[in-house]
Structure formats: structure tokens, C-alpha cells
Amino acid sequence: MHAGYNANAGRFGQIKDDLAASESAIQQLEGSSNDNADQYKFLQEMRGYVGDLLECFSEKVPAVLELEAAMHQLLRQRASRLVQRRQDDIKDESSEFASLSNKAVMAPNLDSFGRDRASYQEASRQRRIAEREARRTRRRQAREQKVEGAEHREGLSSDDEETSTDITSFNMERDRIIRDSRKVFEDVVEDFHSLDFIKSHFEVWRREYPDCYRDAYIGLCLPKLFNPLVRLQLIAWNPLEEPCPNFEYMLWFESLLFYGFEEDSALQKGDEDIGLLPAIVEKVILSKLSVLAEQAWDPLSCSQTARLVAFIHRLIEGYPTVLHGDNRYTQELLKTIVLRIRLTLDDDIFLPLYPKNVMENRNGCAYLFYQRQFWTCVKLLGNILQWDGILSYSCLKDLALDSTLNRYILSALQTTDVGEENVQKCQKVVECLPVQWFSGLKGQQTLPQLEPFCRYLTHLASSMHRGSVGGSDAERRTTKEQIRQIVRMLGRMNALDHIIAVAEEHGVKDIKLLLEVKS
């Protein structure tokens, strides 16, 4: 009897436990069903919203791209106009003095009506001469008003002055593009063009249904979704010019800066939303920089080069996960920069060769043209070397040393008489060279690409010494100081073997002190 009672009591207790567990399971399933229903409803709403958003973008994005292309074309036309004017000026001046080194008589060049093309080409040339000299005069007057201490060299300044007509035309077209960019989404409610409104929908998804959000790879889709809206705000943005707003202070950046951040939750490793802004910098900023570098940047402009270099350095420091050698967009940008520099070397650099008697006339137009072209080469050398730390070491040595210094500058120095002026030119060249190139060199030799330049400096010291023999005491003292200056230049380039040769030949006593100054 007791055994049966205990068995029934045990079964009754088990049934009660099973009933309680069943009731709990029912409640959980009912709650889960409600949650699934809410999630399903939300996802259906998001599906409809995203579909409408993409439909809106399919209509508006072509307009954004068209305006962006129009702005790039406007910048390209202005840059091309200035480059073409510079090339025409060089052709005019070089042809004007070509008779000094070429006495050949050219046959008349007639058009289809039998007229000599030279007659009406001469009118255009005279107009360019007048405009060119007027621009130089205005630049000279502007420099005099600044009262600079250092002597200016013709060819170091950039001839980027525009006519009032060109400026007015450029500004009108630029303003039109900006006005049209503000009208692109004027017929669209904010829910479909405001970054704040659009991102709020996805922030709700991320917060309420994080697993579903992650499984849908929304973090990978958002950079592409925000891309046209960011590009629209960047249409007038140009880091080659001043003033140019910092893109990190623009509305799109501030709007997306804290996307996905919640005060009460810590960031999870591997959260794709952390890379939202770097992805936009990669796909929008770097892509736009590549276009500007190819179409609007002038490597002969010191101001444009300095701004572009400084901006890329800022990107390297701020976005190291984007700007590195393995990134496709970074590679494309650097490739564009190198190709643009090579194009300038091929198309914009010209050094004429004139007879010695022509170069002796220091006030002659041919001599002044030669000097201007020489200093333009030096300016380009300095601009190229600003890219130290951005372009690869080997690429920079090829562009700066092989293609500019040895190909143009050194050849020009070797074809002119030695003198104090050449020492000053060499000093300017050495000042362009990055000091860090020589800090890690071992032994007594400089870089192989600089050996020809160092040999020229050694030759320059010997020639100046021979020229001072028989001169006055003042001339010999001046020559001795210039030789010491040459030794300092060699020391800066770590050309110790050349320093020893010059010091032994010309009796430079304080070589150790000069080397200490170098280091």
C-alpha cells in the first residue's frame, strides 16, 4: 500500500514538474514568436525603405556624377591652358634665339592660299611676348613689395596668373556647378538624401537586431550606399587650392564619425562599422585625389605640390590602414603622381645650348632665357624631392637624380663657364636633397646617382683654383671660401672620398671641422 502511494506521489510530482516546464516553454515560444514577428515586420519595412532609396539613387546618382565630371573638366581646362601657355612661351623664346646656334635658312611655310604662315604666326607671338613680359613685371613688383631678403631667381616662381576674362569665366562655371549640386535632391524628402536620416534607419537595425544586421553584412554595404552623398558634398573640394576646407570638418564626416557608437557598449573586435570612414576615405577621397593629380596638378607649381604633399602626409598619419603600399587606391594615386611628373619632365623642361660668346653677355635675352630655364629645372627638382617619404626611395632617386639632376641640371652646369654663379647653383641643388638620404650611408662614398655631380664639384673646385692663380689677394680669398663651400656640399652628401681629394689638392686645413658641421 505504502509502496503504491509513494509511486503515485512520485509520478504526480513528475507530472507537476513537466507541466511547469511546459508552461514555461509555451511562454518562451509565445515571446519568441512576438520577437520574430517584430523582427519580420521591421525587416519588411527596411526592405521597402532600401528599395525606395535605391530607386531614388538610380535617378539622382547620374546627376551627381555628371556634376563631378563637369567640375573636373573645368579644373583640367584651366590647368591645360596654363601649361599650354608655358609651353608656347618656351617655344617662342627658344625659336627667337635658335639662330644663335643654328644658321640654317628655313624655306617659307605657305598655307593653302599661298600666304606665309610666319606673318600671322608672328602676330600671335608678339602678343604672347607682351603678355608674358607684363606678367613677369607684375610678379617682380609683387616681390619687391614683400621686401624679401634672399635674391630671387627668374624661373623659380610659377607663372600661373590668369586673365580677368579667364577668371570670370572659370568662377561663373564653378558657381553654376555648385548651384546645380544643391538642386540635385531638392525634390526629395530628407529621408532619402540626408545622411543623418539614412544612417538613423541602419542604426536602429544595428541596435535592435545586431545578429541579423551582422549576418546581412550591412557594414560592407554602407560605404557604397553613402558614396554618392559624400561625393556630392566634395564636388567643389580641391586640396590643391587655398582656402580648402578640411574634409574632417565637413558635414558628411561629422555625421558618420560616431556611426554605430553607443556609450554603454564597447566596440567589438571585427566590427565592420569601425571601418566606415576609412572605407569612404579610400574609395572617395583617394579616387578624387587621383583625378586631381592627373588633371589639375602642375608639378612645376611649388604651392600646389606643397599642399598636395602635406595633405597626403596627413592622410598617411590619420588613416594608416588605408594609405599603404598594398592598397589598390593608394597604388593608383602614387602611379598617377609618378606619371604626371614624368610627363612634366618630357614636355615642360627644356634647356637650350648656346655658344660661349652668347653666354658671356649677362644682360642678353638668350642668357636670361637660359638662366630662367635652368632655375625651372632646379625648382622641379625641389618639388619632386618633396615627395620623399611618400614615393618609394628607388622611384624618387630615378625621378629626381637620374631624370632631372643628371639629365638636365648637370648637363647644363658642364656646358657653362665655371665661376661663383655655378657654386650658388650647386648649393641650391644640394639644399634640395633630403638629409636623411645620407645619414645611414657607410664608407666614404655618396649615392651612386650623385657620383657625377660630386665629380663635377671636384672639377669646379680645381677650375676655380686655377682661375684664381695670378689674381689679387681678394680674389684668391674669395676662391678659397668658395672651395670651402664646395667641401661643405660634398660633406652633406657624404662624399668623403671627394672631400679628401679636394682638401689635399687645395690645402683645406679645417676639414674635420667642416665634416662636423655636415653631421
For the chain, the first-to-last Cα distance in angstroms comes to 109
Q: Which residues pair with 391 in a beta bridge?
A: 388
- What 3-state DSSP class applies to 398? helix
pLDDT of 147 higher than 60: no
pLDDT of 145 higher than 90: no
Determine the Cα–Cα distance for residues 221 and 201; give it in Å rounded to an integer.
14
pLDDT of 189 higher than 90: yes
What pLDDT score was predicted for residue 70? 98
The residue type at 438: F
Do the Cβ atoms of 449 and 402 come closer than 8 Å? yes
User: Stretch 260-276: mean pLDDT, rounded?
Assistant: 77
Looking at 278-399, which runs of residues are DSSP E strands? none
Cell of 264: 554603454
3-state secondary structure string across 227-239 = HHHHHHHCCCCCC
What pLDDT score was predicted for residue 18? 52
Over residues 387-418, the pLDDT tens digits come to 999 999 999 999 999 999 999 999 999 988 87
Going by pLDDT thresholds of 50, 70 and 90, the confidence category of residue 71 is: very high
Query: What is the residue-averaged pLDDT of the chain?
Result: 86
Q: What is the Cα 196 distance to its own chain's centre?
A: 31
Residue 355, preceding peptide bond in cis (omega within 30° of 0): no
pLDDT of 54 higher than 60: yes
User: Stretch 283-300: mean pLDDT, rounded?
Assistant: 98
Cell 637650350 sits at which residue?
352
CB contact set of 312 (below 8 Å; sequence gap of 6+): 289, 323, 333, 390
pTM for this predicted structure: 0.86
